[in-house]
Amino acid sequence: MSNATTENADHDERIKFLVIASDHPEAMLAAFFSGRRAKRSGARVTILNVIEPPDFGHWATVAETMRAEAHENAEAVLREFAAEVKAQSGEAPEELIREGRTVDEIKKLIETDPLIAILFLGASTEQSGPGPLVSALAHNPAYLGARPIPVVVVPGSATRDELRKLSG
């Protein structure tokens, strides 16, 4: 479990908007919207990318190679999301990489960082559903843990112009 860089984050007491970075386009819309809302409200943005563990119990060498590749991919995705957030908010976001089950890592982060105030999720436009995180929240709102926070679900079908109007 590693944390990517943050500048002066240790002394910054502003609330944070949490965005989950992934390869899905709706996640980038959530980053876009959160960056605009952060600028408007004086908040910071934290971007979390979770690396799910591989299922190769006895294939340790293969698992370690996959883990290294997953970290490289996570760092690339974080850079892309950070650029989007910075373009919208005017400041670099906090970037985190965690290893584990995504839902568990979101819950841990919300429970350990009292400044996280809102979770921004992108909802997929796929016929299979809005995506695993939005579905998990819809079926079990308590998955966020003992400290519930508001969740903003950004529709994957929204345009950037529509989100600009909503973000002020």
Evaluate whether residue 19 is within a structural domain: no
Evaluate whether residue 128 is within a structural domain: yes
Evaluate whether residue 20 is within a structural domain: no
Q: What is the pLDDT of residue 91?
A: 96
Tell me: the pLDDT tens digits for 26-59?
999 999 999 999 999 999 999 999 998 876 556 6
Q: What is the pLDDT of residue 127?
A: 75
Evaluate whether residue 109 is within a structural domain: yes
Q: What is the pLDDT of residue 152?
A: 92
Evaluate whether residue 101 is within a structural domain: yes
User: How many separate domains does the chain show?
Assistant: 1
Output the CA–CA distances (angstroms, integers) from residue 115 to 13, 34, 164, in the order listed. 7, 15, 25
Q: Is the pLDDT of residue 147 over 90?
A: no
State the virtual CA torsion across 115, 117, 122, 123 in degrees, nearest 10.
140
* Residues listed for the chain: 168
H-assigned helices in the chain: 25-41, 60-89, 102-112, 132-139, 160-167
Q: What is the pLDDT of residue 131?
A: 77
Q: Is the pLDDT of residue 100 over 60?
A: yes
Number of H helices, E strands in the chain: 5, 6
Domain assignment of residue 122, given as a range: 25-43+57-167
Q: Is the pLDDT of residue 5 over 50?
A: no
Evaluate whether residue 122 is within a structural domain: yes
Q: What is the pLDDT of residue 53?
A: 80
Evaluate whether residue 9 is within a structural domain: no
More confident residue, 126 or 16: 16
Q: Report the greatest alpha carbon distance in the chain.
A: 53
**Cα–Cα distance measured from residue 153 to residue 30, given in angstroms and rounded to the nearest whole number:** 8
Evaluate whether residue 138 is within a structural domain: yes
**Cα–Cα distance measured from residue 153 to residue 7, given in angstroms and rounded to the nearest whole number:** 28
pLDDT band for position 98 (50/70/90)?
A: very high
Q: Which pTM was predicted?
A: 0.85
